[in-house]
């Protein structure tokens, strides 16, 4: 590994470490999912530096934020810091991980719930964030749930429902659906692909 890469890695670790600590504990490290048979990916953490380009200019007034597969809660930390006053949810399939995240963030205005997003997508969710949480089959089920939520979204909330999909490996699920409008988000070269999807 060259020196520039090493320095970048060190700086990324340092930023993640200190921001995590502001919200209670360092939450780095990957946990293998106990639910591969449910199409789940492992619990990995986004780096804070990856979030600003994804969210730039997307959050509307009264936006209700949902982290789909919130894992250890790094996105929730960043939202608390950047979008105070917005209602926010983290939905996580892995009950051990969800319990730890719920305990760590209990004193903050965020709801962490354990279960499958296909069942637990909040009725007032308007902006859903995904960091490659599951396979294409689950993604198709999630999209069906979103369409139902879009049809009954409370009138005082921003519409249409938006999805920010980072490391969008199964984007074709949305691209193939005439109810979805997909726009790629320009990202710095070393980051994953990201897309903004409007549903309905
Ligand atoms: C790559 S991690 C992302 C963690 C976090 N969003 C972040 O960006 O740091 C994906 C998470 O999605 C969760 N997950 C997988 N399938 C799910 C489902 N059907 N409903 C809710 N969460 C799910 C996994 O357990 C895992 O913790």
Question: What pLDDT score does 198 carry?
Answer: 98
Q: What does the DSSP 8-state code read for residue 31?
A: B
Asked whether 54 lines ligand 1 (CB < 6 A), one says: no
Q: What tens digit of pLDDT does each residue of 46-69 get?
A: 999 999 999 999 999 999 999 999
Angle (deg, nearest 10), helices 3-22 and 74-82: 70
Domain spans in the chain, listed from the N-terminal domain onward: 29-199
Q: What tens digit of pLDDT does each residue of 155-193 get?
A: 999 999 999 999 999 999 999 999 999 999 999 999 999
Question: What pLDDT score does 140 carry?
Answer: 98
Average pLDDT for 112-125: 98
Percent of residues, the chain, with pLDDT higher than 70: 100
Q: Count of residues for the chain? A: 200
Q: Taking Cα atoms as reference points, which of 69, 71, 95 lies closest to residue 163?
A: 69
Question: Which ligand 1 atom is at minimum distance from the Cα of 90?
Answer: 6
Question: What pLDDT score does 1 carry?
Answer: 72
Asked whether 92 lines ligand 1 (CB < 6 A), one says: yes
Q: Residue 200 pLDDT > 90, yes or no? A: no
Segments of the chain assigned E as strands: 65-68, 88-92, 111-114, 127-131, 161-166, 180-185, 194-199
Domain 29-199: assigned CATH number: 3.40.50.150
pTM metric for this prediction: 0.97
C-alpha distance from residue 124 to each of 86, 161, 182, 185 (Å): 12, 10, 22, 25
Average pLDDT for 71-84: 98
Contact between 155 and 130 under an 8 Å Cβ cutoff? The reply is no
Average pLDDT for 86-105: 98
Asked whether 16 lines ligand 1 (CB < 6 A), one says: no
Question: What pLDDT score does 151 carry?
Answer: 97
């Amino acid at each position: 590994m060259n020196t520039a890469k090493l320095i970048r890695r060190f700086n990324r670790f340092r930023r993640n470490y200190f921001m995590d600590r502001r919200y209670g504990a360092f939450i780095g490290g990957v946990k293998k999912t106990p639910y591969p048979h449910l199409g789940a990916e492992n619990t990995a953490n986004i780096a804070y530096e990856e979030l600003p380009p994804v969210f730039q200019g997307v959050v509307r007034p009264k936006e209700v934020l949902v982290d789909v597969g919130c894992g250890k809660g790094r996105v929730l930390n960043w939202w608390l810091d950047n979008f105070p006053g917005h209602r926010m949810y983290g939905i996580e399939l892995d009950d051990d991980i969800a319990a730890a995240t719920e305990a760590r963030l209990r004193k903050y205005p965020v709801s962490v719930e354990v279960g499958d997003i296909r069942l637990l997508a909040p009725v007032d969710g308007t902006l859903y964030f995904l960091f490659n949480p599951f396979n294409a089959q689950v993604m198709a089920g999630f999209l069906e749930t979103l369409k139902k939520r879009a049809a009954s979204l409370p009138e005082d909330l921003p519409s249409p429902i938006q999805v920010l999909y980072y490391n969008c490996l199964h984007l074709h699920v949305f691209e193939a659906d005439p109810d979805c409008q997909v726009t790629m988000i320009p990202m710095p070269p070393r980051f994953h692909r990201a897309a903004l999807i409007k549903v309905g």
